[in-house]
Each structure stands twice: as C-alpha cells, then as structure tokens.
Chains A and B, each alone.
Chain A
Amino acid sequence: MTSQDPLEGCLVAHLSQLAHLTLPAKRKAALERKLQALVEAFASLDAAEFDGIPDDASDPICAPDELRSDVAEPPPTAAEVLKNAPQLAADSFVVPRVVEH
C-alpha cells in the first residue's frame, strides 16, 4: 500500500473481524474515512530514516534485570473471580455455544 492508496473496504472488514467488531452501515463509512485519513498521514513514518541511534540510548521502559522471585500466593476464590461475570451458573462462566455446527 502506498500513502495514496485508499484503505480498501475489504481490508476494513478484515480488521473488524480480527478486532471482533461489527460496524453498522450507518457508521461504517465514517469510520473507514477516518481510518483512511489516519493511515495516510501516518504512512509518512515509512519514509523517515532513523539511523545513528546508538545501542546504548536510554530505554523509556526500565525493565528489571532480574524478575522477582516466583512466590506462590493464595489464588483468588471462585466467588471473587466470578463476581463480575455477566452470566454464571454453578461456579462457572456461562457463554453461548462456542462451536457453531
């Protein structure tokens, strides 16, 4: 894709599927247009050169040299885990069937 190419409708449909979103027809065109504008503007990054950054340049995130010890702690109770579940039964999350056929 170049910065001039439109973000094809089929790609937006694929992205929506990946993101578990359904775009109603009324809002779909507006969202596609906004996404298109952003992608076109941000495509400028691809032409930028970022050479000459030393390997020892600071990292914004201070990852620890060593991870903390793996200490076993009491897990949350079933009641705590299920407290905010939208639907539950017999200490379990209830979901519609997972396999369609």
Chain B
Amino acid sequence: MTRDHGTSVRSIATSIQNGDRRAVDVLDEQLDRIATVDPRLGAFCETFTERARDQAAKIDRRREAGEDLGALAGVPIATKDNLLVQGEIITAGSRILSSFEAPFTAASVARIEQRGAVLLGRTNMDEFGMGSTTETSSHQQTRNPYGDDLVPGGSSGGSAAAVAADLCPLAIGSDTGGSIRQPAALCGVTGLKPTYGRVPRYGLIAYASSLDCVGAIARTADDLAVWLDCVSGPHKGDATSIAALPPTRSTLADRADLRGVRIGVPRELNGPGIDEQILARTEEAIAQLREIGAEVHEATLPSVTHAVPAYYLIATSEAASNLARYDGVHYGWRGDPASKTQAAMTTQTRSSGFGEEVQLRILLGTFATSIGFNAKFYEKAQLARRAVQHDFDRAFADCDVLVCPTSPTAAPRFGESADDPLERYLWDALTVPASLAGLPALSTPCGQTDDGRPVGLQVIAPRGHDDRTLMVAHVLQRHTDHHLRRPQL
C-alpha cells in the first residue's frame, strides 16, 4: 500500500456539508492529480473543467446559504463516455460520434447532479461497450494502474482505472455483460452492476437494450450504496425501469458479520477454465466469508455452460438493430461527402466510422437474426437465457447470494488474443450469466496474483436484492484490506 490521495464519497460529502472543506478545493486537488497522473494512464477522454468549477462554486455558495446539499455534496464523479451530459461531446468511444454534442443529460447523471455531485469528466471505454480491454476505443489507450503493459479491462476501463489511481472517488459506468465488474476486478476496485432496470437507462447510449445497466465503480461497497440510493427508481424515459426499492445503505451500517447469510458457490463458475491463482484467491475469500459467520455450501447452475454463446448472440442481435441509427444523416459523423447516393453515403459512413470489433459484432448480430439462421441462433439463445434465469431461481431457493471469481484471469497484457475473438469472449464467462438473468452483481477485491495483479470476487444476488451484494462486500471489506491497496504510480 502506498499513499492515500482519495477519500470516500461519504467523507468528502460530509466534510463539505460541515464546512470543513470547500468543494472548489476538493475539485482542484482532483484536477491536479488528473493532470499529473492521467497523461500516463489515459483514463479520461476529457475533463469538464469549466463545468465542474461552476458546479463546485455553486455547492460552496449553497452551503454558505445553509442549504441541504445532498448525499453527494461536492463529490467529484467521473462518467463513462456513453452517458449523456447536456452540452458536452459524448462519443461512446467511437469515431462515428466524434462530434456529437449531447442534447440532454442522462437520468442517472441528472440524479447525481441533483444530489450535489460535481461532474469531473468522461472516461474512456471500448467502442459502444464492445470489448473487455478498452482497446477498441477510438481514443487513447488506457493503462491499468497496476502495470503499464496491462489492460484495465473493459468496457468501463477508464472508470475503473480512474478510481484505482485515485483520480476520482467514484465513476459511473455501464455493464452489459460484465463491463463494470470485470474492469473493477482487474484494477483492484469495487464495481456494482445493479438489478436490470433499477437505474434508468435514459440517456445511456445503447449497446444491447435488454442487458444494458448503469452501474458504478468506487473504492468501497459503502460508497456504492450511497450512489445507488441516489440514482435508483423509475423514470418515464425508460419503460423497463422498476419501482423504487428500499434504500440500501441503511442495511449496511450496523452489519459487522455475516451470521445467518447463506452463500452458494456454483461449481460451474468456480472450476474449469479459471486460472489457478484466481481460484486460490477465491477460495481464500470464501474461507474468510465462512470465518465471519456465513453459511457456505455448493450450488449448481448447469445452464451457464451456454451463457457465453447466448449472451453474444443476443447482445450482437440487439446491437445490430440499435446501431442502425448511425446512418450519417441525423447526427454523428458523416463519411465521404462526395457519395452520390444516400445509401452509398450511409455505407461509407458506417464502414469508416465504426471500428473493426463493432463491425464484427454487427455482422454477427445480423447473421443471428437473418432468415434461415434465426431459429438456430437467436431463438435458441433466448431459450438458453430463460434456462440460465431458471437455474438462478432454483439456486436462490437455498442461498441468499452466490459467489465466484469475477474474471477467469488477472489483467491481460495489451494485444493478448487480439486476433481471437472467441478467446476474448470467454473472458466474460463468469459475468454474463448474471447479465442474462438481470441480476445485481458486484466485484470486490480479494487479493492479488504472485506478480501483483488484482483479483476480484463476484457476489450475485436475486433480482431487487442489490443490498445483499453490497452488504456481503461491505462486511468482507470491514475484515480485509484488499480494497485499500493502492498501485505504485
């Protein structure tokens, strides 16, 4: 462990609310650190410096006027480059949106602003969320703070790297098949994908609408609970957003052990295909959970062997439809202005505006839903999704949460498996099951490999019970210090 530049969301908000610190000073410290560290790291695409200074100054004025500032008073928060912030360029990591100015602010971002957050800037990501390393971004390369040659994971790699390097105490991301949990694990921080629909998607640039979730990355589960309570609840712009659930933070406050908590360990997600060191750290974490009172037993999810193909066929099918809107007409980048017809212009725009991974996934999705192949691929994938959901239903009859590694490997090096999409997609094997079932899932640090790369433990709960994932991680973090480890920068 080294220096401690960051402090928790709660302590920053409390210190500003109490007048112990000024929001503008907290912001300046954070901007200074970004200026020092980020040129090497590449976590941020852009800081919203002017906007942030205005917001911080406004918070300070409101405090002087004696107003209640909200749970996120003056906390500098970064947002992934696929969440709209009115008036700012938002690109989803893609050349095709390189000049796109957001016409409104995403619901999840507006809610944190209403509770006093200061929007620090947008973080780098895989193009449209399609990747597990942040290498498919059309912007800069983002490095893992634990090694210049290591990827930060993805697609929310910028958000995870930013939190791990103390460039911000919390960063918002999105998770379609593991895009928050996996980079959180690879960068040694805590990441939450809430229940599908708990946080409205309105203003999140779509990848796969039945899977996309807005989530967040922070140092601790406690900070994520504060964030979740600020952003949960239905929104008229998202028909799949669900009714407000009870606040989560209150369930964490007094919890010191896990007595009475039943934890299932699904054998399919704790065995073959997973690196030995990852399994060893996971077993140690499970032993720790048992020591602090949890009742641990084996569980089974037999259908998860089909989860990776089901996920990729459904996600790419939805992506092929969602990304049809990028036609070079209504917004975004337009290709060769000399194109003679509208069709030629659209084709040229998309061919030069989308990166190679996005094009591959559009083609796969187009294939899976095309006549002659739809029944064998897309419809079968939907059946597999139902089977995975049913497996979880049965498993949760006997346990409160399930645990497994978040990623089968620690952070890979740049370029590993770049030419083998199947190998890369298998990196998501442990995160896509919860995504298919719409379940809340969290990754919390649980140690490191022999060469110092962070390892994450995934906690999965039944739908609507996000509080259980946070509670288990919170108690584990009270008894361990893996989440406090800092990279040498």
A37 at interface by CB-CB < 8 Å: yes
Contacts of A74 in B (CB 8 A): none
Tell me if A44 and B387 are in contact (CB < 8 A).
no
CA distance A63 to B342 in the complex (A): 37
Tell me if A84 and B330 are in contact (CB < 8 A).
yes
Q: Scoring B residues 337 to 378 as 1 if CB is less than 8 Å from chain A, else 0, what string do you get? A: 101111111111011001010011011101100101100110
Q: Scoring A residues 67 to 91 as 1 if CB is less than 8 Å from chain B, else 0, what string do you get? A: 1100000001000100111110000
B390 at interface by CB-CB < 8 Å: yes
Most buried by A among B327, B332, B341, B354: B341
B383 at interface by CB-CB < 8 Å: yes
A29 at interface by CB-CB < 8 Å: no
A25 at interface by CB-CB < 8 Å: no
The smallest beta-carbon distance between A23 and chain B, in angstroms, is: 7
Tell me if A67 and B239 are in contact (CB < 8 A).
yes
Interface size class for chain A?
A: 35 or more
Tell me if A62 and B240 are in contact (CB < 8 A).
yes
Most buried by B among A11, A23, A50: A50
B333 at interface by CB-CB < 8 Å: yes
Contacts of A20 in B (CB 8 A): 324, 327, 343, 346-347, 350
Q: Scoring B residues 30 to 61 as 1 if CB is less than 8 Å from chain A, else 0, what string do you get? A: 00000000000000000000000000000000
Known contacts A38-B312, A61-B438; is A87 also within 8 Å of B359 by CB?
no
Tell me if B389 and A59 are in contact (CB < 8 A).
yes
CA distance A99 to B343 in the complex (A): 9
Contacts of B381 in A (CB 8 A): 45
Tell me if A80 and B312 are in contact (CB < 8 A).
no
CA distance A34 to B420 in the complex (A): 7
The smallest beta-carbon distance between B427 and chain A, in angstroms, is: 14
CA distance A83 to B260 in the complex (A): 56
B242 at interface by CB-CB < 8 Å: yes
Candidates A53, A61, A62, A84; contact of B332 at CB < 8 Å: A84
The smallest beta-carbon distance between B429 and chain A, in angstroms, is: 12
Q: State which residues 382-437 of B face A: CB under 8 Å.
A: 383-387, 389-390, 392-393, 419-422, 425, 436-437
Candidates A58, A95, A99; contact of B345 at CB < 8 Å: A95
Tell me if B329 and A93 are in contact (CB < 8 A).
yes
Known contacts A84-B330, A86-B328, A87-B334; is A60 also within 8 Å of B341 by CB?
no
The chain B residue with its CB closest to the CB of A16 is B363
Tell me if A86 and B380 are in contact (CB < 8 A).
no
The smallest beta-carbon distance between B391 and chain A, in angstroms, is: 10
CA distance A35 to B312 in the complex (A): 12
Tell me if A46 and B438 are in contact (CB < 8 A).
no
The smallest beta-carbon distance between A33 and chain B, in angstroms, is: 9
A48 at interface by CB-CB < 8 Å: yes
Tell me if A42 and B389 are in contact (CB < 8 A).
no
Candidates A19, A57, A95; contact of B389 at CB < 8 Å: A57
Candidates A62, A68, A84, A99; contact of B242 at CB < 8 Å: A62
Tell me if A31 and B320 are in contact (CB < 8 A).
no
Known contacts A35-B367, A96-B345; is A19 also within 8 Å of B360 by CB?
no
Candidates B327, B334, B360, B366; contact of A34 at CB < 8 Å: B360
Contacts of A37 in B (CB 8 A): 420-422
Contacts of B334 in A (CB 8 A): 86-87
Closest 10 CB pairs of A and B: A60-B438, A84-B331, A86-B334, A42-B309, A50-B383, A45-B380, A57-B390, A22-B351, A46-B376, A95-B342
A–B Cβ pairs within 8 angstroms, 29 of them? A7-B367, A15-B367, A15-B370, A21-B350, A21-B362, A34-B360, A35-B360, A35-B367, A38-B364, A38-B425, A42-B309, A45-B310, A48-B384, A57-B390, A58-B463, A60-B436, A60-B437, A62-B240, A62-B438, A68-B236, A84-B103, A86-B329, A87-B334, A96-B339, A96-B340, A96-B341, A96-B345, A100-B340, A100-B343
Known pairs A39-B367, A42-B313, A100-B340; list 6 more (Cβ under 8 Å). A12-B363, A35-B363, A45-B310, A58-B389, A64-B239, A98-B341
| Residues of A bordering B, CB below 8 Å | 1, 7, 11-12, 15-16, 18-24, 27, 30-31, 34-35, 37-39, 41-46, 48, 50, 53-54, 57-64, 67-68, 76, 80, 83-87, 93, 95-100
